[in-house]
Structure 1
């Protein structure tokens, strides 16, 4: 049985592979399906779908996205799979979210320049990473490459970590809102890597129960950094709340050098038979069957 990977990133967000390079690598790794789930953007989906269709008919391309949301001060991510990324309601809401992120980045550049004495402008940052949804990883690379900081850790520890003086918070949306966006696009909302939120078992159970009520359809029970016991725990939650089992490597290329596509830290494997139940939940896929 071949493997799949339902959580990956390209340089349209904070990965280092181009969309085509990522698709080439997925085929090289003999994956039968790959989802592109860049942070808060769908910019690479048309390119990925067309490239796979023309070059790799034995590999399925799954159009996706990963939304950054906030739950009680913690980052909680919602992955959307099999989305209709041309749905006008969906794209309108996504554009509002992107616009607010742009304003946040302009404010953060101004603070770094005027208060920290680091000559960084929003325009220069954009030109350095054309087409990317700017994240703090881009700030870190920019500052290290230009000698404003010694390494990525210094950037986050001194300048733009959550409680640092030059950090500006982005617009916050709730996990329920992100689930709604995905459902609007006919997609399948998945709770991403829940172990990473470091919640108590009770709180995690309550979160999953609440999000199930909001329309959550799946949960990442197979993930690069999970231990066997953690994987069992999330699979038990999937059974308890009748959620599809999903997962993936969370591949970012050189930005997460220990994580490889399809295999994570070496032991990850998502069997291709996990894809069917997820695909069947997608209203977009069932209506169009175009991917």
Structure 2
């Protein structure tokens, strides 16, 4: 059975580590046959990734876009599109929002009595806009924060130490958490239109990371605004949720996709190719790959 991974990040995403060439070499070493590099709000990896395609490796164009649907923010994947200035505008808009939010994030963290060395953070980021995981890294390594009780779960042996940086993000900046800051991104319907107008297929990413109940009800509304597929198999989804989403997608004739959401050191438990679909699902995944490759 072929091995497919349609959700991973290169260092064109500010929270990921590996250059495109190294990432795709890692995929080859893991026996992946079809992949997409889906960087956050950026299509800059597309030409590099597709230049590394071969008869034994199908590389789809990909992107993951922050967008708003209803009163919540979600991630929308795009596949099979042709890069254009539309995607440059998406990147520039997202970057402007993040630059505006960064000082406020620092304030929230300092209100918790965390020491945050901005010079060290700038060094780690290498000029990129700091992400919450990188803020967590700097805070956790600073000796002045060594005994801070809020940080103990992320240190060796703590119950959030398996993936401390991404867990730091979710626990402090996730919806409803102490450092959370409401932000409105472009409407999902508008981002769906951009992807489709550039010849691509819009797919909802990892719904299990965004809402904890009524998944298919939420997705039904998204299909009504032009979303064409569901990332059914994800590192965020239990087998039970994946099965529910698979049956829903097939019933609604929506595309079925799979992705590991590999980042590197921010998510050390996740490896490329960890998508958890079975032989009974591969026909639907092939249907999507064929459509996105056309």
TM-score by length of 2: 0.77
- Structure 2: segments with no counterpart, 5+ residues: 146-150, 155-163
Partner of 2:11: 11
Report whether the alignment pairs 1:236 with 2:237. no
CA distance in 2, matches of 1:5, 1:16: 18
CA distance in 1, matches of 2:18, 2:284: 25
Partner of 1:138: 134
Correspondence list, 1:267-286, <5 A: 267-268=276-277, 274=284, 276-282=286-292, 286=294
CA gap of 1:159–1:254, structure 2 versus 1, over 3 A, is: closer
Partner of 1:212: 223
Partner of 2:161: none
Partner of 1:95: 92
CA gap of 1:166–1:47, structure 2 versus 1, over 3 A, is: same
Matched residues, number: 275
Picking from 77, 80, 88, the partner of 1:79 is: 77
TM-score by length of 1: 0.78
State the superposition RMSD in angstroms: 3.3
- Secondary structure of 1:79's match? strand
Deviation at residue 178 of structure 1 after TM alignment: 2.7
Deviation at residue 250 of structure 1 after TM alignment: 1.5
1:164-195: CA deviations, max 9, x gaps? 66554444333323322322332111111223
Partner of 2:160: none
CA gap of 1:207–1:22, structure 2 versus 1, over 3 A, is: same
Deviation at residue 251 of structure 1 after TM alignment: 1.6
1:110-158: CA deviations, max 9, x gaps? 665799574544x764542237564311221232234464544795589
Partner of 2:43: 42
CA gap of 1:31–1:19, structure 2 versus 1, over 3 A, is: same
CA distance in 1, matches of 2:229, 2:283: 15
- Secondary structure of 2:34's match? strand
Partner of 1:108: 105
CA distance in 2, matches of 1:37, 1:108: 25
- Structure 1: segments with no counterpart, 5+ residues: 287-291
